[in-house]
Structures are given as structure tokens and as C-alpha cells.
């Protein structure tokens, strides 16, 4: 989900990571579901990428 919306917003991993205050490597791991994140970081991601509420719910329920 993160990668899909990042690309839809024409952002590189580096740009999104800088915007939300994490390393690009951490973002890469999040995109590949290799790492969990804090709710505060997740909230920054979905706000920055304008992820619709229904997509957030689908993602959380996985």
C-alpha cells in the first residue's frame, strides 16, 4: 500500500522518508512488510500520501 501511494504521489523513497522523518532504508523495509512501525509514523505516512480511510482499514486488517 505504501509503495503504491508513494508512486501515485510521484515521490521517491528518499523524498517520502525525509518528509515523515525516517530513513529511506526504514521506509524501504516498511514497503516490503519487513518491519512494523509506530502509529505516529503510520499516521504521517497516510496523511502525507492522502491515503483514503477505506484503504487504511484494509491495510490494518491484514
Q: What is the pLDDT of residues 5-56, one digit of tens each?
A: 999 999 999 999 999 999 999 999 999 988 888 889 999 999 999 999 998 8
Question: Are the C-beta atoms of 9 and 49 separated by less than 8 Å?
Answer: yes
Cα–Cα distance, 42 to 20 (Å, whole number): 9
Say what the pLDDT of residue 36 is. 86
pTM of the model: 0.83
Set of cell numbers at residue 45: 505516512
DSSP of 19-40, one letter per residue? HHTS-HHHHHHHHTT-S---HH
CATH architecture of 2-61: Orthogonal Bundle (1.10)
Q: List the domain boundaries for the chain.
A: 2-61
Report the candidate in 48, 61, 52 with the shortest Cα–Cα distance to residue 6: 48
Between 22 and 60, whose confidence is greater?
22
Amino acid at each position: 500500500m505504501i509503495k503504491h501511494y508513494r508512486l501515485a504521489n510521484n515521490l521517491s523513497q528518499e523524498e517520502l522518508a525525509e518528509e515523515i522523518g525516517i530513513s529511506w532504508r526504514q521506509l524501504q523495509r516498511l514497503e516490503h512488510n519487513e518491519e512494523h512501525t509506530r502509529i505516529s509514523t503510520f499516521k504521517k505516512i497516510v496523511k502525507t500520501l492522502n491515503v483514503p480511510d477505506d484503504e487504511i482499514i484494509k491495510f490494518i486488517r491484514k
